[in-house]
Structure 1
Amino acid sequence: MPISHLARAAYCPRQYYYAERDDDHEPPASVGAVRDLAFRYERHRTATDEALRRLPIAVAPDRYRSNLASLAERDDYDRLAAPAVREAFLRGRDCHGVAHKVLGRADGTSGTSERDEPGGRDDAAPPTPTIVSPGDPPPQGVWEPQRVRAVAVAKALAREREREIPRALVEYPAHGVVRTVRLTTRNKSAYRRTLWTVRSMRGVPSRIRDESKCDACEYRTTCGTKTRSLKTLLGLG
């Protein structure tokens, strides 16, 4: 299944069910403009207030520059700002989808190890996949749907490169914030639990307990009713 669909199911299985029913998985057009920010960190570090106000950032210009200054202190900043690979399509055992960046080694190479050479050794640092979120970060860590998505991307990259990928990154470019997701037992369990939820789905799932998620859901007015979505009523489904 698509990795992005898995993340939606992690957010709310019921929302995933309705999106599947209506074939409604396309993100809003505004998402692309926010994701583009993740490829322009270096340019925006010194941008003027006026220039930054024209961008789809979620914080004030001075805060944005401060966040980017903190980001530039990361050991992997050069690779974040100029990734070895962009928009990499990955096919894992369970899921397929796009890693928005794949960060190579510190020397700027793609992360392909010497193991690929005849008689070579697998002693290179592993590549790091990233996903770019158009939303807001939590105070610490990442939201569960993005944790699940990050694990899925890392596992897909591990299958393609035939090596362990111990972590992935989640970028929140509207804030200039980057968070790390390690493939811990807890995070891999969240991934497997979401896969099981999707694979065992028979009919409309039960409502989730966290009703705060419903406020931002496009299905909130029809959730749990027999009313068809506007897209379906217009013959677009």
Structure 2
Amino acid sequence: MSVSFSSLARAAYCPRQLYYARKEEDWSRPDESKRRQQLCHRYNTLHEQDAAALRSEPIDVEPHVYLDRVESLSTRAYWPAIAEPSQTAVFVEGRDCHGRITKVLEPDTQDLCDHPLPTLASPGKPPETGVWEPQSVRAVAAAYALSWERERPIEYALVEYPAYGVVRTVTLTTRRAATYRRVLRTVRSMDGPPPRVDDDRCHSCRYRDRCGVKTRSLASLLGF
């Protein structure tokens, strides 16, 4: 059974959330999340705006911070390709998973690596370092699916947090691959409601009222 990237990401965050989303066929995203995600296609124009204009955009940091971060991004090897990608919203289907990749950067357009580079855009806030586990699992899934289609190994993926002007490189390590396989097994074996998580994640979950968990402090809520 091929599993969607979105199912894997939800299960990595909370398997019980995936169960309710499947049960209610609910895969909608808030419009504001879509607006933040779409910023990843506008880096060049955002880079040229002044602070006043940026305040009307769905960015989540001060304009001067955003401009500094995009300026820093413009020095990266992948910048020309990520700012003006030749392929966007690319649907891929691998042996075990399928889904849509935000951008695919070809080897002749970026200097980071010698293979196609899948990139995924997240509407949320990045962690201090690296990426959140749901986005890591999604990035690994995208890399594996693209690798299967192209019949060549892929060692890296990118995760963009465009509302923050941050892009993180995801290396397909043994540990990340093992986490992906664990989540894949969880999704494939799901035939009823998984155990409750009952922790800080529950505050942001739209299913918390019917799930039966007791929500706790919002202090350590993850961006997703």
TM-score scaled by structure 2?
A: 0.90
Identify the match of residue 200 of structure 2 among 171, 194, 212. 212
Asked which structure has the greater CA Rg, the reply is 1
Aligned to 2:118: 129
Q: 1:48 and 1:62 mapped to 2: Cα distance? A: 9
> Using the alignment, how far apart are the partners of 2:21 and 2:212 within structure 1?
14
Q: Which residue does the alignment assign to 1:91?
A: 93
Shift >4 Å, 4+ stretches: none
Please, which of 14, 36, 39 is the counterpart of residue 37 of structure 1? 39
* Map of 1:63 onto structure 2: 65
Deviation of residue 46 (structure 1)? 2.4
SS at match of 2:107: coil
Q: Matched residue of 2:36: which SS?
A: helix
Counterpart-to-counterpart distance in 2, 1:146 and 1:97 = 13
- Equivalent-residue separation in structure 1 for 2:189 and 2:176 (angstroms): 20
Match in the other structure for 1:148 = 137
Equivalent in the alignment of 1:224: 212
Distance apart, 1:130 and its partner CA: 0.4
Q: Work out whether 1:24 is the aligned partner of 2:20.
A: no
Partners of 1:55 and 1:143 lie apart in 2 by 24
Paired letter, 1:149: R
Partner of 2:219: none
**Among residues 188, 191, 197, which one is paired with 2:186 in the alignment?**
197
Match for residue 3 of structure 1 among 2, 5, 8: 5
2:72 alignment partner AA: S
Is it true that 1:188 corresponds to 2:190 in the alignment? no
Give structure 1 stretches of 5+ with no counterpart: 109-123, 226-237
Per-residue displacement from partner, 1:36-61 (whole Å, max 9, x unpaired)? Answer: 21011111112111211111100010
Asked if 2 retains the 8 angstrom alpha-carbon contact of 1:76 and 1:106, the reply is no
Aligned to 1:13: 15
Equivalence for 1:235: none
Tell me the number of residue pairs that the alignment of Structure 1 and Structure 2 aligns: 209
